[in-house]
Amino acid sequence: CSDTEMCSCPVLSSAAQNIQASSNSKSRCCSTFNASHCYFSLLYADGAKAAGSLLQDTLRLGGSSPSSSVRSEEDYGNERTKESGSGGLASKVVFGGIVENSKDFDRDSVDGIFGMSPSTTSCRPSCFKTALQTLVDETKVKNLFTMCLNHEGGVLTMGAVDYSVFAEPPIYVPYTSKSVYEIPMGDAFIVGKKVLSLRQVNRVIVDSGTTLLVVPSHVFAKIKEVFEVEYCSALGLCRETDWFESATCYDIPNPKVIQNLPTIKFQLEIDESIQDSYDKNMPSHEEIAQSTDRYWHWMVRSRANLLKDLSASSGPDPSATSKGSRRFYHLSLEPSVYMLKSVVNEKQYYCLGIQSFDLQDEMILGNSLMLKYGIVYDREAKRIGFGRTKPNCGR
């Protein structure tokens, strides 16, 4: 680290975390834990933090797990498969070795965090290429991945849209930020039959590293008011003054009453030009007609149904709607999605999977939403895909 070509900072004091990284991509800072190492630190919005030294080793994905066939876009129609368990992906990467962290950062069941943001480099404050970008550059795998989560874990598919996890084809929206997966959201959301404003929310982020659906305090207050006024009787908790609180767990004697709570819907504005680019990757109609792969037929028909003019859709609650020349796809969260089951000392609780946070104009779509919707992170086309997943991610 003392080499001036590798480190443009002197040995840092204990206040190193307050020093901002240089915009120079070669900027390094020496670690206070080991002067020969480069330093890194992380600070999250909830106050959790960690710090340590940068290390280098081989990252391998897929090679240690049982062999499984993953079908990507070009594989459909010709019965070819990719074996994800045979050799996997491997490359030498730079990563952080944690030396100290806050209590709220540490988790007994987690060994580390694999950051998969859109960034190609990270400066915290030492600057280096991210592990994901290194893996893409070195292995030449496509710069996209599919993520499906369930209560036991999930499935991460590198380099392909993994259609096997989806119950419906993904619908895409663009993202523009270089540091986070920030997407456009409609200016209203729906709690039951109540339409509420989201005009003050200017930033919506998709983040698998966030456990819950995180909303600004003023948005949470609107949701809370609707629940307390119209739905407290659903759980028999009308006399409780704190029955609907941020990220709180409840002992509910009769879990069946949870289904009486409302569905919460958020609107994603559909960019049809992005869907068109997706269509170009599909086989031709002639190839589809000759194929015996029924899944392709289903996928094409389903996508056509989702993107057609939905003004004639039957039922009061279509998954997508038209509003003038604008079209929206609904991310619908039923109570079975946002009321998370937890068992503590053999006793069952239900926890509200919505967290209020003083983010002012920012909202984070975290894991509680991803238990229903699989996500395609297409870093090549700068777009995010949402689609309902099969039970247990189709496995």
**In what helix (H) or strand (E) does residue 327 lie, and over which residues does it extend?**
strand 326-333
Determine how many CB atoms are found less than 10 A away from the CB of residue 13: 9
Residue range 354-374: mean pLDDT, rounded: 88
Residue range 176-201: mean pLDDT, rounded: 90
Q: Supply the pLDDT for residue 76.
A: 31
More confident residue, 353 or 35: 353
The overall average pLDDT reported for the chain is 75
Nearest by Cα to 259 from 355, 335, 208: 335
Q: What angle do helix axes 272-279 and 294-307 make, rounded to 10 degrees?
A: 160
CA distance linking residue 118 with residue 95, whole number of Å: 16
Nearest by Cα to 171 from 376, 372, 332: 376
- Encode pLDDT of 112-152 as tens digits: 888 899 988 887 878 888 999 999 999 999 999 999 998 88
Residue length, the chain?
A: 395
Computed on alpha carbons and rounded to an integer, the radius of gyration of the chain in Å comes to 23
Q: Supply the pLDDT for residue 92.
A: 94
CA distance linking residue 376 with residue 208, whole number of Å: 12
Residue 80 pLDDT grade (very low, low, confident, very high; cuts 50, 70, 90): very low
Look at 17-21, 183-187, 211-215, 336-340 and tell me which has the smallest mean pLDDT: 17-21
CA distance linking residue 264 with residue 188, whole number of Å: 11
Q: Supply the pLDDT for residue 384.
A: 94
Q: Supply the pLDDT for residue 182.
A: 93
- Asked if residue 211 has pLDDT above 90, the reply is no
- Encode pLDDT of 240-259 as tens digits: 666 677 777 878 777 888 88
- Encode pLDDT of 336-360 as tens digits: 899 888 888 888 888 888 988 887 7
Q: Supply the pLDDT for residue 310.
A: 33
More confident residue, 199 or 143: 143
